[in-house]
Amino acid sequence: MAQQQKNGQEPDLNQLRKVRREKLAELQQNGKDPFVITKYDQTHHSQEIKDSFDELEGKTVSIAGRMMSKRVMGKASFCNVQDLKGNIQSYVARDSVGEENYKEFKKLDVGDVIGIEGEVFKTKTGEMSIHASHVTLLSKSLQILPEKFHGLTNTDTRYRQRYVDLIMNPEVKDTFIKRSRIISAIRKYLDGQGFMEVETPMLVANAGGAAARPFETHFNALNEDLKLRISLELYLKRLIVGGLEKVYEIGRVFRNEGLDTRHNPEFTLMELYQAYTDYNGMMDLTENLYRHVAQEVLGTTKIVYNGIEMDLGKPFERITMVDAVKKYAGVDWNEVETLEQAREIAKEHNIEFEERHKKGDILNLFFEEYVEEHLVQPTFVMDHPIEISPLTKKKPENPDYVERFEFFMNGWEMANAYSELNDPIDQRERFKAQEEQLAQGDEEANTTDEDFLNALEIGMPPTGGIGFGIDRMCMLLTDSAAIRDVLLFPTMKSIGGAEGKKTDKKEEFEPAVKIDLSKVKVEPLFEDAVDFDTFSKSDFRVVKVEACEAVPKSKKLLKFTLNDGTDRKRTILSGIHEYYEPEELVGKTCVAITNLPPRKMMGIDSEGMLISAVHEYDGQEALNLLMLDDSIPAGAKLY
């Protein structure tokens, strides 16, 4: 039935598009092709007219924008025009614009870009409007905008067609205007502190400065393999060596990792370095910068994210990683003397670690498991173990730890800062340890950068450095649920293209594999019957996946944020990460049991169960999440 409805709508949409093309052809034949117009004199934006109505009433203005609605009523009509600042109504009467222009206006479609010249006035109902004296078609829309009542709500379509999202959802446009202002405010603050903005290479032979897996590419002209940068750090430090005492860069970096609500493979990073200061200086700068940006963009130092208030006006908490683990996990790492002890305590607390992990690595695993979720208010977590900090100065009084902090809000890491390591001999040893980790299978480990070591040997002064995740900062300051909501064009899986290439490659190099159903093994039917009354109490509902992300520190679990047809969002955790990546599932329609009691999984309440089909094939378990036609609404009950 859903397919019939879909097929029933398609001819209508095609017919509407056909009519619009016919209108364009008629305009062109009559010498009125809108696409030959090169400019339009726009005197005001809609909001400026409303804000200055008393001053502009009775005066002639001209606005330009997209027509979002039109009501034709005989000899007089109304339309609504949306521009950068908002929208405004226009009254278009035949006696005011002339018979020919009115006839042209009546043929306009919702979505067309138009210019309106006329006098500012108020209607009888008190709405600020423009009494049109002339309407000009500036660009013909040949596509159909989403129906206004429902708007554009499918998240996958919104991210892929951001241009339509910006048209249909005013709050989205507001988010990106705020993002622009946030970056502008950061620059304004740092420039006022004497920092110099610079630009460093994106294509590098050695991608260092962070624990991340790089993207690789090939430069044909030099016949060399290169990488996309994962950090800005090592080049900015070279500039400190060169005598530029305060430098910063805001730019794209690229990390070959998964997609979820807080991660995108290309994202905006801001790093800065200041000679003759340390990580304490970076803490002061961070505190002042965040206050300045919030006040400048939001007009307050109190922000609300997902209903939780965070106060940037109060002094930020400062706590060591050891004290934080003691506070929230009840484990005093000062009493852990050996790697063997650390492993035993980890086993007692069900902390999964790898053979290569050392004592400091296990401390960090405890921090991630027990502490991070509690760091909602602005908090600096200081003095990290040396094992996880290859570019940082050791603490003189305790060389097992380094002068490093991470800045947390809302349980998220927002910034990472060091008293920068400037000892080239020590740095070479750290690189060597990283090379060993790389050999043991850690794809995120750094490799030795000889030119950077040469720069350190020239001599780098004592320096404080910090990296800020701009996208997460924008998420917090705009109350956006996912990183894709603050990226104009987030990374998306290609529709058809990527799958097509994979298929072509398989057909070229590998024989086609068909599932031999004789090898499929399914669980036997239950021998014991479940009474009908018990089963009938299970509430099977249709749910829409609004967000999906990997659960930190879990290789199996995915965390789903679901629309179940109610006013609140439902969280369900499902152990299907082995079979699906989070980005594949956003926007999908699934089935869940919604009346199960909440169950704690990795410290998160899972409110139900998503339904999957499981079978065994050739000795391997296979799983398929049940997905339905998107036309079925969220909350629909299954019988």
Closest alpha carbon to 129 in 170, 173, 76, 165: 76
Residue 226 contacts residue 218 (beta carbons within 8 Å): yes
pLDDT tens for each residue of 266-297:
999 999 999 999 999 999 999 999 999 999 99
Which of 485, 502, 534 is a domain's end point?
485
Query: Does 340 fall in a domain?
Result: no
Closest alpha carbon to 356 in 344, 339, 334: 339
Count of the separate structural domains present in the chain: 3
Residues 585, 438 share a domain:
no
Percentages of the chain per state (helix, strand, coil), in multiples of 5: 35, 30, 35
Residues 424, 308 share a domain:
yes
Parallel, antiparallel, or unpaired: how do β-strands 463-469 and 216-219 relate?
unpaired
Q: How many other CB atoms are found less than 10 A from the CB of residue 404?
A: 25
Average pLDDT over residues 455-461: 97
* Per-residue model confidence (pLDDT) at position 617: 66
pLDDT tens for each residue of 341-375:
999 999 999 999 999 899 999 999 999 999 999 99
* Per-residue model confidence (pLDDT) at position 321: 98
Residues 197, 308 share a domain:
yes
pLDDT tens for each residue of 41-63:
999 999 999 999 999 999 999 99
Residue 493 contacts residue 300 (beta carbons within 8 Å): no
* Per-residue model confidence (pLDDT) at position 601: 87
Beta-bridged to residue 402, according to DSSP, are: 384, 394
For 607, the domain range is 519-637
Cα–Cα distance list, 236 to 88, 185, 201, 426, 458 (Å) = 48, 21, 10, 19, 15
Residues 559, 456 share a domain:
no
* Per-residue model confidence (pLDDT) at position 483: 92
- Asked whether the predicted pLDDT for residue 618 surpasses 70, the reply is no
pLDDT tens for each residue of 7-44:
443 436 788 899 999 999 999 999 999 999 999 999 99
Query: Does 59 fall in a domain?
Result: yes
**What pTM did the predictor assign?**
0.76
Residues 382, 252 share a domain:
yes
Residue type, 410: N
Average pLDDT over residues 600-609: 91
Residues 263, 408 share a domain:
yes
Residue 450: Cβ-neighbour burial (10 angstroms; 0-12, 13-18, 19+): exposed
- Asked whether the predicted pLDDT for residue 391 surpasses 50, the reply is yes
Radius of gyration over alpha carbons of the chain, in Å?
Answer: 30
Residues 310, 193 share a domain:
yes
Query: Does 291 fall in a domain?
Result: yes
156: tokens are: 């996958």
Average pLDDT over residues 404-420: 96
CA distance 350 to 352: 6
- Asked whether the predicted pLDDT for residue 233 surpasses 80, the reply is yes
* Per-residue model confidence (pLDDT) at position 2: 43
197 assigned ligand-binding residue: no
Average pLDDT over residues 117-138: 97
CA distance 366 to 7: 55
Query: Does 261 fall in a domain?
Result: yes
CA distance 180 to 198: 19
What is the phi/psi pair of residue 128, to 5°? -65, 130
Residues 471, 591 share a domain:
no
Residue 621, domain CATH: 2.40.50.140
- State the average pLDDT for the chain: 90
Residue 585: its H or E element: helix 582-585
Query: Does 327 fall in a domain?
Result: no
pLDDT tens for each residue of 156-179:
888 999 999 999 999 999 999 999
CA distance 350 to 365: 11
Residue 90 contacts residue 49 (beta carbons within 8 Å): no
Q: How many other CB atoms are found less than 10 A from the CB of residue 29?
A: 9
* Per-residue model confidence (pLDDT) at position 507: 35
Three-class DSSP category at 360: helix
Residue 110 contacts residue 145 (beta carbons within 8 Å): yes
Residue type, 633: P
- Asked whether the predicted pLDDT for residue 491 surpasses 60, the reply is yes
Residue 636 contacts residue 594 (beta carbons within 8 Å): no
Average pLDDT over residues 56-83: 95
Which long-range contacts link 12-15 to residues 24+ away (Cβ below 8 Å)? 13/144
3-class secondary structure for 125-160? CCCEEEEEEEEEEEECCCCCCCCCCCCCCCHHHHHH
Which of 119, 139, 159 is a domain's end point?
139
Residue 379: Cβ-neighbour burial (10 angstroms; 0-12, 13-18, 19+): buried
As a dihedral over the C-alpha atoms of residue 508, residue 514, residue 519, residue 521, rounded to 10 degrees, the angle is 110
413 assigned ligand-binding residue: yes
* Per-residue model confidence (pLDDT) at position 16: 86
* Weakest mean pLDDT among 6-20, 319-333, 409-423, 578-592: 6-20
Average pLDDT over residues 416-430: 93
CA distance 248 to 195: 7
DSSP 502: H
Burial 260-280 (b: 16+ CB within 10 A, else e): bbbbbbebbbbbbbbbebbbb
CA distance 468 to 413: 9
Query: Does 609 fall in a domain?
Result: yes
Query: Does 381 fall in a domain?
Result: yes
Cα–Cα distance list, 534 to 523, 529, 608 (Å) = 21, 11, 17
Which of 460, 485, 510 is a domain's end point?
485
DSSP letter string, 180-248: HHHHHHHHHHHHHTT-EE----SEESS--SSS-PPPEEEETTTTEEEEE-S-SHHHHHHHHHTT--EEE
* Weakest mean pLDDT among 34-43, 356-365, 389-398, 475-484: 389-398
Cα–Cα distance list, 514 to 471, 502, 510, 579, 617 (Å) = 44, 16, 12, 19, 12
* Per-residue model confidence (pLDDT) at position 497: 55
Average pLDDT over residues 78-107: 96
Query: Does 303 fall in a domain?
Result: yes
Q: How many other CB atoms are found less than 10 A from the CB of residue 610?
A: 21
Residues 480, 525 share a domain:
no
> Given its phi and psi angles, is residue 562 left (phi above 0), alpha (psi -120 to 50 degrees) or beta?
beta
Residues 104, 28 share a domain:
yes
Residues 251, 117 share a domain:
no
CA distance 267 to 25: 43
Q: How many other CB atoms are found less than 10 A from the CB of residue 564?
A: 21
615: tokens are: 């079978």
pLDDT tens for each residue of 508-543:
333 334 456 666 777 777 667 778 887 888 999 999
Residues 420, 289 share a domain:
yes
> Given its phi and psi angles, is residue 10 left (phi above 0), alpha (psi -120 to 50 degrees) or beta?
alpha
More confident of the two residues 497 and 365: 365
